[in-house]
């Protein structure tokens, strides 16, 4: 921490995974929104570690070219994680008070307080969900970074429980800092989806990997359309990055038009989907947080989730919770919501300024643990 209490904390957020357009999955969104919120604080001087090609666009997040630290151009993309873990600490020297890893890794031997955001423990709990190279090359550096970090920021109490179950000795260094819906999503003008306008539809937001359990939602929808042939299920997610698991009913429902797939949508389109869905289904088998569940609730959608601890934690009494494998129950819940008016909720929306404030407090507050 700075010796002069009046000086802002020089905070380096590792953002080498953020592309120039600042769009991507949950960890990219986390990094971008946390950067924006930290930059708004008077007690933090934000710096970003970026890829060479993203350095120019990401200046927007720091407000100054001088606060961008570029990864060396000579490091191939596939070797960036190894560089960040093994060599980055030497490159940073003593320039920063805090170095935060936003995605799995921290640099060894860095002269700063180290902070690691723990999004989930899936590399240890469900390694088969990841490509062989990733689970082979990343698990050991991730484990080392978890044990090194002076502060471990868990995105949910459920993730903290998984982390401390894996390594109980880390418990004193953990803090729970839940995420928030993106202000860009909340502030975007809704963009209608032509194929869904005027139709009754359910919505699933997420990738098609096995842990997302889309097969149960799709098979439940096959039962739904037997009673509601007008109903459509919209699957919204990123481009495929690994194994897909849609289940046996998917192809027929796509062919009949009862399943519509939307890939890589913008915030305005996603907002419209949440605001017009008759029900949002979140059947995932394992989540670290479950941001689509929070987004759905913040935008007024009826929500049904699995019994995954993180999903239950973030949605609470505002959602229905079902066993992840109970297809008839998911069909019944969907049919009930298709015929019911959307609920009216008095919900206090969490902000990214809240996330940043709790992050800074966890790292610099009286309870913070020194990194050694």
Provide the 10 A C-beta neighbour count for residue 67: 18
CA dihedral angle for residue 90, residue 95, residue 96, residue 100, rounded to 10 degrees: -30
- According to DSSP, residue 196 is labeled T
Q: What are the tokens at 44?
A: 């933090």
Rounding to the nearest 10 degrees, give the CA dihedral for residues 324, 237, 34, 166.
40
Task: Identify the pLDDT of residue 130.
Answer: 82
Question: Which range is least confidently modeled, 3-7, 63-67, 184-188?
Answer: 3-7
pLDDT tens digits for range 131-190: 888 888 889 999 999 999 999 999 999 999 999 999 999 999 999 999 999 999 999 999
> Which pair of tokens denotes residue 92?
């940073």
pTM recorded for the entire structure: 0.92
Of 130, 69, 75, the closest CA to residue 96 belongs to 69
- C-alpha angle 178/32/296, rounded to 5°? 50
Contact predicate 152/118, CB 8 Å: yes
What integer pLDDT is reported at residue 221 of this predicted model?
A: 98
Q: Which has the closest alpha carbon to 319: 350, 352, 284?
A: 284
Mean pLDDT for 327-334 is: 98
| Contact criterion met (CB below 8 Å) for 183 and 351 | yes
The confidence score (pLDDT) of residue 123 equals 93
Element (H, E) at 117: strand 113-118
pLDDT at 371: 38
Tell me the pLDDT tens digit for each residue of 116-145: 999 999 999 998 888 888 888 889 999 999
Look-up: residue for tokens 């927007």?
A: 60
Please answer whether residues 34 and 352 qualify as being in contact, where contact means their C-beta atoms are separated by less than 8 angstroms.
yes
Complete domains list, the chain, with CATH = 9-180+352-364 (3.40.50.2000), 184-338 (3.40.50.2000)
Query: Which position has the higher pLDDT, 371 or 158?
Result: 158
Beta pairing, strands 68-70 & 174-176: unpaired
- Helix (H) or strand (E) run with residue 232 in it: strand 232-237
Token readout for 248 is: 């046996």
| Helix ranges (DSSP H) in 126-249 | 132-148, 157-166, 183-187, 214-227
Helix then strand count (H, E) for the chain reads 15, 13
Q: Lowest-confidence range among 91-95, 185-189, 223-227, 299-303?
A: 91-95
**What would the pLDDT profile of 252-296 be if each residue is shown by its tens digit?**
999 999 999 999 899 999 999 999 999 999 999 999 999 999 999
């Amino acid at each position: 921490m700075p010796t002069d209490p009046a000086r802002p904390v020089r905070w380096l957020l590792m953002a080498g995974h953020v592309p120039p357009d600042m769009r991507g999955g949950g960890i990219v969104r986390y990094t971008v929104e946390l950067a924006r919120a930290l930059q708004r604080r008077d007690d933090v001087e934000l710096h970003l570690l970026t890829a060479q090609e993203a350095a120019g666009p990401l200046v927007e997040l720091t407000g100054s070219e001088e606060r961008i630290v570029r990864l060396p151009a000579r490091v191939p993309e596939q070797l960036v994680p190894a560089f960040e873990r093994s060599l980055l600490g030497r490159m940073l020297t003593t320039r920063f008070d805090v170095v935060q890893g936003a995605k799995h890794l921290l640099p060894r031997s860095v002269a700063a307080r180290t902070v690691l955001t723990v999004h989930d423990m899936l590399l240890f709990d469900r390694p088969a969900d990841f490509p062989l190279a990733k689970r082979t090359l990343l698990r050991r550096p991730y484990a080392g970074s978890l044990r090194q970090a002076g502060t471990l920021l868990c995105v949910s109490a459920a993730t903290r429980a998984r982390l401390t179950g894996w390594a109980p000795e880390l418990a004193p260094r953990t803090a729970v800092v839940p995420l928030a819906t993106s202000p860009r999503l909340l502030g975007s003008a809704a963009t209608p989806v032509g194929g869904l306008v005027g139709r009754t539809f359910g919505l699933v937001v997420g990738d098609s990997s096995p842990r997302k359990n889309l097969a149960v939602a799709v098979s439940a929808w096959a039962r739904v359309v037997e009673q509601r042939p007008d109903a459509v299920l919209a699957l919204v997610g990123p481009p495929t990055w690994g194994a897909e698991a849609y289940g046996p009913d998917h192809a027929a429902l796509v062919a009949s038009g009862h399943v519509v797939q939307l890939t890589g949508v913008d915030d305005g389109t996603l907002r419209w989907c949440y605001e017009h869905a008759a029900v949002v289904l979140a059947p995932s088998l394992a989540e670290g947080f479950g941001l689509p569940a929070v987004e759905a609730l913040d935008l007024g959608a009826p929500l049904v989730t699995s019994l995954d601890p993180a999903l239950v934690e973030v949605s609470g009494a505002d959602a229905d919770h079902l066993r992840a494998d109970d297809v008839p129950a998911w069909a019944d819940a969907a049919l009930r919501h298709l015929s019911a008016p959307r609920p009216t909720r008095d919900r206090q929306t969490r902000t990214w300024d809240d996330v940043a404030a709790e992050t800074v407090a966890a790292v610099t507050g009286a309870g913070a643990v020194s990194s050694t």
